[in-house]
Structure 1
Amino acid sequence: MNKRAFILAFAALTAGPALAADPATIDWSKIPVVKVPLFYPGQSSYEWLRSDNHKGAVKETKRGDACTSCHDEEDAEKDIGNELVKGGRLEPMPVKGKNGYVELSVQAAYDAKNAYFRYQWKTNGKAGIEYPYYRFDGKEWKVYGGPRLDKDVQEGKQPPIYEDRLSMMLDDGKVPGFAEQGCWLTCHDGSRDMPGVKSKDEVAANPLMAAIKKNDVRKYLPATRTNPSDWTTGKSVEEIARIKADGGFVDLIQWRAHRSNPVGMGDDGYVLEYRNFDAGKNPFASNLDKDTKQPKFMYDAKKFGAKAVTAKQAGKKESFLIKGKNAVPFDPKAGWKEGDMLPRYVLSASDATGSGADNKATGSWKKGMWTVVLTRPLGLTNDDDKTLKDGGVYHVGFAVHDDNITTRGHQVSFVRTLGLGAKADIQAVKLP
């Protein structure tokens, strides 16, 4: 070994590991704030954008022009959202009091280990920290509550209950069209709360959906269908695997106020032939035993104060069910009464494993505003992750769900660029 090689090897051995910042100690006042406008999109799917109903822009959309090539005027997002949320051509089920526009503040920083994202936005009403429950009706445990786009909720048969959520889609340039049209590549007719929804049996009978064991249609990328505008024309599992191996998927990072925030995490997923979770396990799992049709866990009465909650208590206390904190195995002989309710998901940071456990996140709600800080490791090499690295530039899209709503009842952004130490719309600052 020559002298120079010896010095480099010695330096590598003695330098010690690179240190990661504690997100709670980052001085965010020194990190630039980028205001990203989000708007209510209604049922403006991939197919609608390419139909004659998208007047004045069909030709441009079909040839792959960016959405912002037309919608580039000031307050464009605010005007679109405030119009669509009222109902009409793209909203057959308007939600009373729903906001059409949200301003999302985004800050980004990174060090040798992680990227850090700080988000702030005002909610439409109080913080949504609940998810629909299982309620005992005297004989069976049935779902109680739902999002405000559900027919039963709109008709008053179920109360509006759903968690707030923040999502970030991210691509590194390997998904054709994402840089121009963002999440509209993933949103299609046939999906939940979109035109042309089919029954579970009809979806399960489709060859691709049967192969991946799904009974509903969710987000997918055009490259996974022989006809991008027809979800039924799925390519083979082998073809889709090749697309994934080439990086032709969009990363989907989500923070959830009920299912991930109480245990300091955000879930990790990706969009390809479906809206998938990453390999491994999430910090949340179903609380229903498929065989007994009863919950798996109940509250530890000694720690929580009761073995269940009631409808009157829902929303008045933090009802998270967390392993190692307030959850114990369900006892079917515990004297259950009609009206007793238990969460549909049980949470555990220690149970989260593999690629699905990559993202950490904490959120707090104060004076009508969420502040969420998400930590994402750099240099991930999992086959279901986009790799963030120093000097990299990425295309990102954001979405916010609030006001007890899910699926298309969110506010979304047009595409922005994200740079880690590189010029972009959102420039992550390198921490000392």
Structure 2
Amino acid sequence: IFIMPAIKRPKILPTKFWIGLVIVVGIGAYFFGTISANGGGVGSWLGQSTEATSTTSGVDGKGGMPPKGTAESIDFQQFWDLWDALNRKFYKQPLDEKKMLYGAMSGLTAALGDPYTVFFEPTVAEEFSKSLEGKFEGIGAEIGIKEDQLQIIAPLPDSPAERAGLQAQDAILSINGTSTEGMPIERAVSLIRGDKGTTVTLTIGRIKTTKSANGKEVKEPATFDVPIVRDTIVVKSVRTKFLDGNIALIEISHFNADTTEEFAKAADLVLSKDVKGVIIDVRNNPGGFLDRATAVAGEWVGDAVVVKERRKGEIVDEYHGTGKSRLKDIPTVVLVNGGSASASEIVAGALQDYGKAKLVGKTTFGKGSVQDYSELKDGTALKVTVADWLTPKERFINEIGIEPDFDIDRTEDDYNAGKDPQLDKALELLGASQSAEKAQPSN
């Protein structure tokens, strides 16, 4: 259960990331943001010591000076008066002052009302670091908050979440019986994650789409419990298939540490065959490393601008493709849906802006903000939204998403029947006559 972002390699130190959109449940954290290895900011002024308040948990003293630029009208003594009152009056003693400190720091970020600005306690920050290794224990799904609702962004391929039947855009109504209404995403993370072999039960809300006898679509809400046994998750980011009709299908599940190398191998394989077209499938891909996204996009756009960063209404940086334009002359279709987010939207948006690919499927998730990730004292960390990102044509997609060129749904009935109308449409656009239901991979 971690934040799933798109991370970029820095031009210079400190290391920079762009933090992506979602929390990965038992998979890992790939932050799409900016990391600076400092201990300043919020953590420093709360922790400065001038006078000891208590020896209960070793929290450093109170009275530190607020950061430069803080409004003079803010009386920080109020915070310490409250701290002292709790120490004196709360009926259960002794108090866990370290927990109180972390709670105060979490409150600072929560007060901003931004779901992507979060304070991480040491255990969560450590799990973020471990997640970059690519092997984890959990249910294998990304979760996020959209329209104030905790929801599944995407289950990972062949994960416990996928095997249990979870789908992109499923609402998580409760976790082991605890309602998620108004629940901070960090709390949801702590409830869902767990060790291999243990079970978590999610109450899911889903709009089920079926077809009536006269062929019309019928949408009905449904609520049901889904027990999921946590397991070890290994993420393979790129898989290549060759379909009948000389069409290459490249599925990208995440933009992970291995994606640049694996996608380069996929491109080599495509170029070694006489293909009529390429289909890039980023459905249910929640994001990943930014430099992997620019490398993938660069196989079509070369060193052209792939994404722009905007702060306070002004473009402050541009990130260029790093690929070799090897696929620029091959007709391409990108498959997207509501689980395509962050780095996936960067690739899809760039190829659409430059006319290098047609997008087929449903409108993407809409994660277009940039976060900064900083390590603080004692292993804690801060993720804070600092900017927006835009497509090369400066389209703002946050909470809007990218609309496909061809709006094609894949219903639950389609899924259960092994049908894929979105892939069928991609094959049609590339001149293949077969249906996706009959398509067979050649490798």
| TM interval, short-chain normalised | under 0.3
TM-score by length of 1: 0.22
TM-score by length of 2: 0.21
Query: Which structure features the higher share of helix residues?
Result: 2
More strand by percentage? 2
